């Protein structure tokens, strides 16, 4: 609606500086960026010509960053529940993908995911899937920020023939869109059990040359680790270390099963972890040692994983679950307090993606990726601490407004992009196609 305007919330939780809640402060947005934070009266006086959004019952926070997902898999939400990871993949997900994944499938599934994410306050997502150009197109139609993964995997698909083909196509996409303000790119080797040593070496070389994040599932299950020891004579993280993958660019997704030495190795090399608590629980993968990671200085981001293994793209749910699980696993009620959980859902994700100087906090100079959450009504009053409410009490249904680079994407809970008008039709068509596949399998 406006690229330059003033926001007047009741509270701001800026994330930087850490642990702060601001009361009675306005945010001045000009040309899609945060220009200033000022007391309400000063903002009204100095910027009288700008439109004002009054948010008297709201807390304003940075846009949430979903550090790991497979957006197109919204079309497989609920298709194969209550199964362990490898059975889920080999018996259900991979066969469905081989049959159906195409540019249209990825576009439609990703657009559906963008609608869900924006409505829940997610302004940036990090994606790993086939046909990333289709995800890119959906993200731009939706007006959401996206980090697109150049997937690398050893087996052929309808998207690419071999690892070199995957890499070539992903890098060509990056070259075409490298300067787009809403887009960034990662290298996305799928997992240690689906990527060869030779492919990892290429990924390490390209990541170093182009300074790209490496987005990788690792140490998700005990089975993965046992398989690596049997096939390679070492655990996956040691193998990745030897192949040059560990470093500040690595986003280690899941990182559930870590020895103290492996945890120290991730910290030493400045790696980030994308923690996906709902997916870890649903697939019975285990409990990530989040408190120990944070204590070691590892940057912890939060991700939803795909809707096929969660089944929600809901970062409020991930914040709450991450904070609660961290306490139980560490047996420490002070582990991952509310401000730390919010940081992982915002600045932690931005840092993991190499975007910490552009996103993740309500800071002058950063992009105006902002979310207003209404803290009113039963369940959210009284409010003694807005940060506590954001993590432990509020939900995505309490998001009222979302801005991406200063553009209004959600207003009073309503999505603004016309691109979402045909979602129901496309979703029903894909549901019919996938239900037909399930009937054939039976």
Give the C-alpha separation, 51 to 53, whole Å: 7
pLDDT of 358 strictly over 70? yes
- Contact 304/276 with Cβ under 8 angstroms? yes
Residues 6+ apart with CB under 8 A from 116: 74, 307, 312, 313, 314
Nearest to 315 by CA among 128, 131, 139, 126: 126
Residues 6+ apart with CB under 8 A from 160: 130, 166, 169
pLDDT of 440 strictly over 60? no
Report, as an integer, the average pLDDT of 189-197.
97
pLDDT at 422: 87
pLDDT digits (tens, 9 = 90+) for 109-122: 999 999 999 999 99
Percent of the chain predicted with pLDDT > 70: 98
Predicted confidence band at 435 (pLDDT cuts at 50, 70, 90)?
confident
- Contact 35/343 with Cβ under 8 angstroms? no
Give the C-alpha separation, 124 to 182, whole Å: 9
pLDDT of 203 strictly over 60? yes
Q: Name the token pair of 203.
A: 């990924």
pLDDT digits (tens, 9 = 90+) for 8-20: 999 999 999 999 9
pLDDT at 251: 98
Q: Rounded to 5 degrees, what angle do the CA atoms 310, 316, 321 make?
A: 65
pLDDT of 341 strictly over 70? yes
Report, as an integer, the average pLDDT of 379-403.
98
Report, as an integer, the average pLDDT of 290-298.
98
pLDDT digits (tens, 9 = 90+) for 359-382: 999 999 999 999 999 999 999 999
Give the C-alpha separation, 364 to 64, whole Å: 17
Buried b / exposed e over 326-336, threshold 16 CB at 10 Å, is: bbebbeeeebb
pLDDT at 441: 52
- Contact 387/13 with Cβ under 8 angstroms? yes
Predicted confidence band at 437 (pLDDT cuts at 50, 70, 90)?
low
Angle (deg, nearest 10), helices 423-441 and 103-119: 120
Sign of the alpha-carbon dihedral angle for 363, 365, 366, 370 = positive
pLDDT at 93: 86
Report, as an integer, the average pLDDT of 65-74.
97
Report, as an integer, the average pLDDT of 51-73.
97
Higher pLDDT, 36 or 92: 36
pLDDT digits (tens, 9 = 90+) for 224-262: 999 999 999 999 999 999 999 999 999 999 999 999 999
pLDDT at 1: 45
The domain made up of 5-62+369-411 has a fold known as Urease, subunit C; domain 1 (2.30.40)
pLDDT of 439 strictly over 60? no
Report, as an integer, the average pLDDT of 194-215.
98
Predicted confidence band at 395 (pLDDT cuts at 50, 70, 90)?
very high
pLDDT of 2 strictly over 70? no
* Kind of pairing between the strands at 299-302 and 272-275: parallel
- Contact 309/280 with Cβ under 8 angstroms? no
Q: Name the token pair of 117.
A: 């994410």
pLDDT digits (tens, 9 = 90+) for 137-174: 999 999 999 999 999 999 999 999 999 999 999 999 99
Higher pLDDT, 277 or 432: 277
Give the C-alpha separation, 149 to 129, whole Å: 7
Give backbone dihedrals phi and psi of 369, rounded to 5 degrees, phi first. -95, 105
- Contact 151/130 with Cβ under 8 angstroms? yes
Domain residue spans in the chain?
A: 5-62+369-411, 64-352
Assign residue 348 a region (left: φ > 0; alpha: ψ between -120 and 50; beta: otherwise): alpha
pLDDT at 438: 55
Predicted confidence band at 100 (pLDDT cuts at 50, 70, 90)?
confident
The domain made up of 64-352 has a fold known as TIM Barrel (3.20.20)
């Amino acid at each position: 609606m406006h690229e330059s305007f003033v926001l007047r919330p009741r509270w701001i939780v800026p994330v930087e500086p850490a642990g702060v809640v601001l009361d009675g402060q306005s945010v001045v947005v000009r040309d899609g960026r945060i220009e200033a934070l000022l007391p309400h009266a000063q903002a009204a006086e100095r910027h009288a010509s700008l439109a004002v959004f009054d948010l008297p019952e709201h807390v304003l926070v940075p846009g949430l960053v979903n550090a790991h997902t497979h957006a197109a898999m919204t079309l497989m939400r609920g298709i194969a529940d209550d199964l362990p990871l490898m059975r889920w993949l080999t018996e259900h997900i991979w066969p469905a993908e081989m049959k159906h994944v195409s540019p249209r499938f990825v576009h439609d599934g990703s657009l559906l995911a963008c609608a869900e994410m924006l409505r829940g306050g997610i302004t940036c997502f990090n994606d790993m899937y086939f046909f990333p150009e289709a995800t890119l197109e959906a993200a731009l139609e939706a007006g959401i920020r996206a980090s697109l993964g150049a997937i690398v995997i050893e087996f052929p698909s309808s998207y690419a023939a071999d690892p070199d083909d995957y890499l070539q196509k992903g890098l060509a996409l990056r070259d075409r869109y490298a300067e787009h303000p809403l887009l960034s790119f990662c290298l996305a080797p799928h997992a240690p059990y689906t990527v060869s040593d030779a492919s990892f070496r290429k990924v390490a070389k390209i990541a170093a040359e182009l300074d790209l994040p490496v987005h990788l599932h690792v140490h998700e299950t005990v089975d993965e680790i046992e398989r690596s020891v049997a096939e390679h004579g070492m655990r996956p993280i040691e193998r990745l270390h030897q192949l040059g993958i560990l470093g500040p660019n690595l986003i280690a997704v899941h990182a559930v099963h870590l020895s103290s030495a492996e945890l120290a190795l991730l910290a030493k090399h400045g790696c980030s972890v994308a923690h996906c608590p709902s997916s870890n629980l649903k697939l019975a993968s285990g409990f990530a040692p989040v408190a120990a990671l944070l204590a070691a200085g590892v940057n912890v981001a939060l991700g939803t994983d795909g809707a096929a293994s969660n089944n929600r793209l809901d970062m409020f749910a991930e914040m709450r679950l991450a904070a609660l699980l961290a306490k139980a696993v560490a047996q420490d009620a002070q582990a991952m307090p509310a401000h730390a959980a919010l940081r992982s859902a915002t600045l932690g994700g931005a840092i993991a993606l190499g975007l910490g100087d552009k996103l993740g906090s309500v800071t002058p100079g950063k992009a105006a990726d902002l979310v207003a959450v209404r803290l009113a009504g039963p369940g959210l009053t009284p409010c003694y601490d807005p940060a506590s409410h954001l993590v432990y009490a509020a939900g995505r249904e309490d998001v009222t407004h979302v801005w991406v680079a200063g553009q209004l994407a959600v207003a009073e809970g309503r999505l603004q992009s016309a691109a979402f008008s045909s979602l129901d039709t496309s979703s029903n068509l894909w549901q019919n196609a996938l239900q037909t596949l399930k009937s054939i399998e039976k």
